[in-house]
Amino acid sequence: MQATAPVEHPSSPLVRVILLAYTALIVYASLYPFSGWREFGPSPIAYLSEPFPHYWTFFDVSIDVVGYIPFGILLVLACYPFLSRGWAAVLSFLVGTLVSGSMEAIQTYLPSRVASNLDLTTNSIGTLIGVIIGCVLTPWLLEKDLLKKIRHRWFVGNMSSGLVIVALWPFAQIYPQGYMFGLGQLVPILSRWMNEYLGIPIDLGEIIRQGAQLTAEQYWLSETMITCCGLIGAVLIFLCLLRPTAPKARLVTLLIAVNLSLKTLALALLFKPENAYSWLTPGAEAGLIVGCLMLYGLAFTPAKVQRHLAIFMLTISLLVINFVPGNPYFTDTMASWVQGKFLNFNGAAQFLSVLWPWMAIWFLLHYRPNRSVTS
């Protein structure tokens, strides 16, 4: 009797794309604000022999651990099927520790950052936890082809980069914004860059406020429009990636629920627990209701129409958010922001909140769906 050859399962391109994006996010969070580079004298690895810092918070330590858990998981999954689980675990832990150690070493040359062996330790612990989880998940997700089955049953063929864009949408909500789903606001950043790098003391936000004095009703209408357009634009990207056989209603509901839950948790951590639902303003409520009602009908339109409508909605949201004065109620709320709690991730969170809609539009302009079913 002829022996049956073992079945070789292919690697997952989606995992590698997500790993690349997550690595870039770690680098940005570790080296933000990328300014003031200089040599202070100590060796970049001198921090390894220093004692642990005397002052630290449980929140910062837990964030350092949690932040590297997905990194460890993705590293293990990316090694499949090229390495056995044992070697993948060893290599992934070493890579995660090396990345963390390199980021800490480079921070030696940044005056606003402090290289810390405590951060290296907590990041390594997070990587180790992620590696263990990744080893457990590998047979379930990859060897049994669960991801492949879900991908072929629910998603179009070339959905990897689009799914990364959609997955980043909830995380783009972490950084505090004046309007719900008000991503892509460039005005404050442009003002700061013109002041710091060009020597032009100008506040574009103040110019907009002086040129457009809005009433309370107009602020409400602006927030409703931004919330509605931002919601529709993001969800339509997700719908473009789904096949007709996918459970669209349940998946879209889950996406919106995850988004709102992460937003609520971020506000509770960044500000105070009583601010957890401060995003639920009358304008945001109206925008959510109108957006959900419109999505109910748009879910049945062709993918090409959904793609063009997503570009249109995101463009409208960008125009309104950048040419409408800032929300005065949001300015008062920002006064209670304890920025030290999220010090290591403020830069990455702001970067993602500004860049996300531009990345989404770029993706939609170049996206051509492949709806053929492959075996």
pTM, to two decimals: 0.65
Considering the chain, what percentage of its residues have pLDDT values greater than 90? 23
Contact by Cβ (8 Å): 230, 259? no
- Whether residue 33 has a cis bond before it, omega within 30° of 0: yes
DSSP code of 180? T
Answer whether residue 372 shows pLDDT above 60: no
Q: What is the mean pLDDT of the chain?
A: 78
Residue 179 pLDDT more than 80? yes
149 falls within a domain: no
pLDDT above 70: residue 1: no
In 10 A of CB 124, how many CB atoms?
21
The Cα 152–Cα 173 span in angstroms is 30
Type of residue found at 224:
T
Per-residue pLDDT at 144: 57
222 and 348 inside one domain: yes
Report yes or no on 5 lying in a domain: no
Mean pLDDT across 237-264: 87
358 token code pair = 């531009």
**Per-residue pLDDT at 33 exceeds 60:** yes
Checking if the pLDDT of 38 tops 70, the result is yes
Same domain for 28 and 115: yes
Domain residues for 106? 13-144
Do 196 and 338 have their domain in common? yes
Pair (40, 119) in one structural domain = yes
Residue 347 pLDDT greater than 80, yes or no: no
Is the residue at 98 inside a domain? yes
- The candidate with the shortest Cα–Cα distance to 230, out of 361, 47, 341, is 361
Is the same domain home to 172 and 136?
Answer: no
pLDDT for 49-61, tens place per residue? 787 777 777 767 7
Please, which pLDDT band fits residue 157 given cuts at 50, 70 and 90?
Answer: low
Count of CB atoms within 10 A of residue 196's CB?
10
Tokens of 300: 């049945």
CA 291 – CA 58 distance, rounded (Å): 39
- Residue 211: phi and psi, rounded to 5, are -85, -15
What are the tokens at 208? 């907009």
Cross-strand pairs, 242: 155
Residue 368's pLDDT is 72
pLDDT at 164: 83
Confidence of residue 290 (pLDDT cuts 50, 70, 90): very high
Lookup result for tokens 């971020």: 266
Residue type, position 29, single letter: A
Q: What is the pLDDT averaged over residues 349-354?
A: 80
Considering the domain architecture, whether residues 98 and 171 belong to the same structural domain is answered as no
Tens-digit pLDDT profile for residues 291-319: 999 998 898 888 889 999 999 999 999 98
Looking at the fold, whether 94 and 173 belong to one and the same domain comes out as no
Q: Which carries the bigger pLDDT value, residue 32 or residue 370?
A: 32
Q: 3-state class of 27 per DSSP?
A: helix
**342 token code pair:** 């999220």
340 — phi, psi (to 5°)?
-60, -25
Report H helices in the chain.
13-31, 58-79, 85-106, 117-138, 146-154, 160-172, 187-196, 204-211, 216-240, 248-270, 282-298, 303-323, 328-334, 346-366
Alpha helices in 107-145 (DSSP H): 117-138
DSSP 8-state secondary structure symbol assigned to residue 157: T
CB atoms within 10 A of CB 363: 19
Rounded CA-CA distance 130/105 in Å is 23
Return d(Cα 34, Cα 13) in angstroms, integer. 31
3-class secondary-structure state, position 340: helix
Instruction: Write down the pLDDT at residue 362.
Output: 93
3-state secondary structure of 155: strand
Between 54-63, 99-108, 228-237, the lowest mean confidence (pLDDT) is in 54-63
* Residue 155, beta-bridge partner list: 242
Same domain (yes/no): 193, 116 = no
Q: Is residue 205 part of a domain?
A: yes
What one-character DSSP code corresponds to residue 44? Answer: T
* pLDDT tops 80 at residue 9: no
Residue 124 counted as domain residue = yes
Would residue 55 count as lying in a domain? yes
> What's residue 7's pLDDT?
44
Query: Taking 70 as the threshold, does the pLDDT of residue 193 lie above it?
Result: no
User: Given CA atoms 219, 220, 224, 230 in this order, what sign does their dihedral have?
Assistant: positive
184 with 231, same domain: the answer is yes
**Mean pLDDT, to the nearest integer, of 73-86?**
87
Closest CA to 279 of 174, 167, 165, 171: 174
Q: Mean per-residue pLDDT for 69-80?
A: 90
* Same domain for 266 and 178: yes
Residue 98 has pLDDT above 90, yes or no: yes
**Do 313 and 266 belong together in one domain?**
yes
Q: In Å, what is the CA distance from 358 to each residue of 47, 281, 315?
A: 38, 26, 9
* Cα–Cα distance, 302 to 294 (Å, whole number): 15
| C-beta of residue 287 within 8 angstroms of C-beta of residue 227 | yes
Q: Do both 267 and 224 map to the same domain?
A: yes
Is the Cβ–Cβ distance between 241 and 163 less than 8 Å? yes
Number of domains the chain is built from: 2
